[in-house]
Amino acid sequence: MYIQLDFESDIPIYEQLKHEIIFAIAKKQLSPGERLPSVRALASDIGINLHTVNKAYQQLKQDGFLQIHRQRGVVIDPDGPPKADTIYREHLQQILFPIFADAHLRNVTKQDFHELIDHFYDALEKEETTDE
Amino acid sequence: MYIQLDFESDIPIYEQLKHEIIFAIAKKQLSPGERLPSVRALASDIGINLHTVNKAYQQLKQDGFLQIHRQRGVVIDPDGPPKADTIYREHLQQILFPIFADAHLRNVTKQDFHELIDHFYDALEKEETTDE
Amino acid sequence: MYIQLDFESDIPIYEQLKHEIIFAIAKKQLSPGERLPSVRALASDIGINLHTVNKAYQQLKQDGFLQIHRQRGVVIDPDGPPKADTIYREHLQQILFPIFADAHLRNVTKQDFHELIDHFYDALEKEETTDE
Amino acid sequence: MYIQLDFESDIPIYEQLKHEIIFAIAKKQLSPGERLPSVRALASDIGINLHTVNKAYQQLKQDGFLQIHRQRGVVIDPDGPPKADTIYREHLQQILFPIFADAHLRNVTKQDFHELIDHFYDALEKEETTDE
DNA sequence: GTGGTCTAGACCACA
DNA sequence: GTGGTCTAGACCACG
């Protein structure tokens, strides 16, 4: 698993790290129960601060993506995050709708979005089998 | 046009303000050329600082949603924002894909997203005619 | 003489008005001694504030482009503005150099500027004879 | 890099600051990737408010001269600003032509301007090698 | 220690 | 009255 960070980006590094790990799980490059590098190892590997890795791990644990054990280290949670409930779906809308509204005013159509989603889900499925 | 802000949210107030204004334009509650309240008026209306309103206005101007005239105040840009180009679409993917991946792991399906989008675009069209 | 103002511009209206009058003099559309409309007439003609026209006229008088007489009204100064002295030339550099530096970093070359200037002076000469 | 501001000038301080930084880049006193002082450091250095410095930095970032990183601070953008396009060149004319017209009426000739430009570009090249 | 956000209040330019 | 500029000081997010 290769972590690809963009230090020029506006997105905080710990957020990018979270994204990368979630992506890897979605692509099944990381399997449930699989171990992740320790905070120290990953931090020195990528060349970022301990706290940054730790923050990402803690939040991923909080969201149910990871388990953190004193001895066994960090592993992918076998069950994954809680399934989307009403609260989550409302949260999702709250995040997406401003993006949609902006895009709409820039002439991005409903169809464009459908294609974008299909493209994303297709890419996931492909990478599941071919990648790594 | 009613501005609805959440002061508890971790989304900056000026961002929320931008969202509300973009929504209102998308819903055609605000028409091209229409005037917006002055920074001072809106600020005291919402109960926030005029600089916060100003920041939102300035960024919306920068993005092509608004025009700011010397003494005539702030108006909706008749032409609206620049249309989505390749850069914008890549930016859009960069923002959306992490959200999609997270949702996917919470069992939100491709179909769920399609419905979400249709729901959003339908809501826009409805509000265009019914609202205000 | 047609006054062309851009109310969307960042440039103050009284500045634009000054520019238009100076242009007209440079193009010899306005001759030394010729009368300009009164403050009131011009203001109502263009549809702007009295004060705005007055401010432009006063500054043009200050710079030696106009004379303002109580009875005879506003006329083009026969002698025109004082000729460029050292102070003026330093002032000119102070204004132009930041523009040049910015343009330089955007790959505008020395030759581009030479052409721009030739183009400007050629345009002046042409309009002197043909226009109005 | 020495910042020279004129607090008596009617050019806003943040504009003067922008000019100074653009000059320094043009003179290659500041190299792509090089770090600039933090907003706080520069502000206290010059004796102005940190928000004023921040405004200059933000606008230079917007124009592609700088990059602002989370904790690494402010650096010169390796790629520099976008290259001059048609829009920029029209904008340039709009700014320069009124200046040319005024200067022309003060007997500044085409040749004077050619010399001014050559002088500017020569100065840039000299300072590139000698300065700092 | 870095920039980001928000508040507060002052003065000025513009129309 | 409008926005533009500048100052001042506070708290937070990031690393």
Query: What does the pLDDT look like over B29-43, one tens digit per residue?
Result: 999 999 999 999 999
**Using 50, 70 and 90 to split pLDDT, how confident is the model at C127?**
confident
Name the least confident of A15-19, B110-114, C6-10, C35-39: C6-10
Residue of D nearest to C27 (CA): D101
The reported pLDDT for the residue numbered B72 is: 80
How many Å apart are CA C22 and CA A28, to the nearest integer? 71
Query: What does the pLDDT look like over B73-110, one tens digit per residue?
Result: 899 999 889 999 999 999 999 999 999 999 999 999 99
Alpha carbon separation from B22 to A17, A100, A125, B1, B2 (Å, rounded): 30, 10, 35, 12, 13
Q: Residue D50 corresponds to which tokens in the numbers above?
A: 């940190």
Residues of chain D found within 8 Å of residue C110, distances taken between Cβ atoms: 117-118, 121
Query: What does the pLDDT look like over D62-86, one tens digit per residue?
Result: 999 999 987 788 999 998 899 999 9
The reported pLDDT for the residue numbered A4 is: 87
Give the residue numbers in D contacting A (CB under 8 Å), as ranges.
67, 69-70, 72
Average per-residue pLDDT for chain A: 91
The residues, ordered by sequence, that sit 6+ positions from B34 with a Cβ below 8 Å of its Cβ are B75, B76
Nucleotide with the nearest C1' to D71 CA:
E2
Q: Which of B62, B66, B69 to mutate to test the interface with C (most CBs of C within 10 A)?
A: B69
Query: What does the pLDDT look like over D100-119, one tens digit per residue?
Result: 999 999 999 999 999 999 99
Q: Is the pLDDT of residue A130 over 70?
A: no
Query: What does the pLDDT look like over D27-76, one tens digit per residue?
Result: 999 999 999 999 999 999 999 999 999 999 999 999 999 999 877 889 99
Is the distance from CB of A7 to CB of A13 less than 8 angstroms? yes
How many Å apart are CA C54 and CA C73, to the nearest integer? 12
Average per-residue pLDDT for chain B: 92
Nucleotide with the nearest C1' to B12 CA:
E5
Positions 23-52 of B with beta carbon below 7 A from strand F are 38-41, 51
Question: B120 in helix, strand or coil?
Answer: helix
C abuts A (3+ Cβ pairs < 8 Å): no
Query: What does the pLDDT look like over A3-22, one tens digit per residue?
Result: 889 888 889 999 999 999 99
Query: What does the pLDDT look like over D88-104, one tens digit per residue?
Result: 999 999 999 999 999 99
From the CA of A41, how many Å to the nearest CA of chain B?
Answer: 24
Q: Is the pLDDT of residue C128 over 50?
A: yes
How many Å apart are CA D13 and CA A76, to the nearest integer? 53
- CB-CB under 8 Å, B93 with A110: no
Region A102-131 average pLDDT: 89
B37 CA to E3 C1' distance (Å): 30
The reported pLDDT for the residue numbered C8 is: 83
**Using 50, 70 and 90 to split pLDDT, how confident is the model at B59?**
very high
From the CA of D55, how many Å to the nearest CA of chain C?
Answer: 18
Region C8-36 average pLDDT: 92
Nucleotide with the nearest C1' to B11 CA:
E5
Query: What does the pLDDT look like over A35-91, one tens digit per residue?
Result: 999 999 999 999 999 999 999 999 999 999 999 998 888 999 998 888 999 999 999
The reported pLDDT for the residue numbered B132 is: 45
The reported pLDDT for the residue numbered D56 is: 95
Q: Is the pLDDT of residue D129 over 50?
A: yes
Question: D66 in helix, strand or coil?
Answer: strand
Give the residue numbers in D contacting C (CB under 8 Å), as ranges.
19, 22-23, 25-26, 65, 80-84, 88-89, 92-93, 95-108, 110, 113-114, 116-118, 120-121, 124
The reported pLDDT for the residue numbered A87 is: 93
Positions 59-78 of D with beta carbon below 7 A from strand F are 70-71
Query: What does the pLDDT look like over C109-125, one tens digit per residue?
Result: 999 999 999 999 999 88
Neighbour subunits, A (≥3 Cβ pairs < 8 A): B, D
How many Å apart are CA C19 and CA C1, to the nearest integer? 13
- CB-CB under 8 Å, D72 with A8: no
Q: Is the pLDDT of residue C72 over 90?
A: no
Average per-residue pLDDT for chain C: 91
Residue of B nearest to A24 (CA): B101
Neighbour subunits, D (≥3 Cβ pairs < 8 A): A, C
Nearest to B21 by CA among B95, B92, B96, B75: B75
Residues of chain D found within 8 Å of residue C102, distances taken between Cβ atoms: 22, 81
- CB-CB under 8 Å, A12 with D70: yes
Please state, as a whole number, how many other Cβ atoms lie within 10 Å of the Cβ of residue A28. 15
Alpha carbon separation from B13 to B4, B8, C71, D62 (Å, rounded): 10, 10, 58, 21
